[in-house]
Amino acid sequence: MDRFEAMAVFVKVAESDSLSAAARGLGLSLTSVSRQITALEQRLGTQLVVRTTRRLALTEEGRLYHAQARRILAEVEEAEQALAAQQAEPAGRLHVGAPTLIGRLRLAPLLPEILGRHPRLDVDLTLTDRPVNLVEDGIDVAIRIGRQPDSSLIARRLGTLRMQVCAAPGYLARRGAPATPADLAGHDCLVFAEAPGAASWPFQMPEGRVMVPVSSRIRANSLDAVVAAALGGAGLVRAPSWQLADAVAAGRLVPVLTGYERPSTPVQALFLPNRLLSPKIRLFVDFLAERWGGGEFGPGTGPAA
């Protein structure tokens, strides 16, 4: 059994609806594909695929093996491309993961520029606010906010993000401005959160970082939604300063509690150590570092001002 070929066949099967669909995509007979999967399972000593008359499904072991096999095949493809092109022109598909807001407003508008420069490069962009696993999710480069506990990843700083608390002038005229974070207990707060539960906002106090409970008059899993509610006078919102900058400049929102703001948080590109020499990853991260400038995200960061 050719282990590399069997691995490629398995990945195709895992990403197809059936063995016959995989066979057609590979230009092989159904018998050949089935034999390769069976031989691979025997070699690994575990079942990878559950076959039924109508469809197939991966076992838990099959899902784990698929993630690793897909990464290995991608690395082999990149190595061959790098040698063929002598690393002169990055090529292939780059899988990028990013937080929803930064991805939509700061990253996506830059993609036409880099793709125009490099016509052999393709990008798959996944926007999600949940942490991603680079191996299991098949992500080449992940854009993340905050310091990362996973020291096994390579991190490159791209910029910083500062959070502000703001409210509309009309709301502050009705309810007054909080003088200290403790005053938030008597205010309507507009909370960005992925899940229900008690809400709290971090502030910088003399004793250090303090989480202050807030009452969530409106809770949403979209920063756009809570910022829009703040603009309408519904309450106080805590959001990235660059997202609020235009409204603050126009007087539609007023910053409060500025003396209690936390230090800026790093925005980083993360990638696996064994992908460090990948031309397309290096090119993409260098491009973002150049365009974002390494400083605080603001309304002039990139073309999506």
What are the DSSP calls for 10-60, one per residue?
HHHHHTSSSHHHHHHHHT--HHHHHHHHHHHHHHHTS--EEE-SS-EEE-H
Q: How far is Cα of residue 172 from the mean position of the Cα atoms in its chain?
A: 35
268-300: pLDDT as tens digits: 999 988 654 678 888 899 999 999 887 777 554
Q: For each of the domains in the chain, give its residue range(s) and CATH number, in order of start.
A: 3-73 (1.10.10.10), 89-161+265-292 (3.40.190.10), 163-260 (3.40.190.10)
- Virtual torsion, Cα 24, 26, 30, 31, nearest 10 deg: 160
80-132: pLDDT as tens digits: 766 655 555 778 899 999 988 889 888 999 999 999 999 989 999 999 888 78
Please give the Cα distance from 7 to 246 (Å, whole number): 52
pLDDT-derived band at 175, boundaries 50, 70, 90: very high
Look up the pTM and report it: 0.62
Query: Closest by alpha carbon to 220, among 211, 229, 212?
Result: 229
What's the mean pLDDT when you consider all of the chain? 86
Q: What average pLDDT score do residues 35-59 get?
A: 83
At residue 280, the pLDDT reads 87
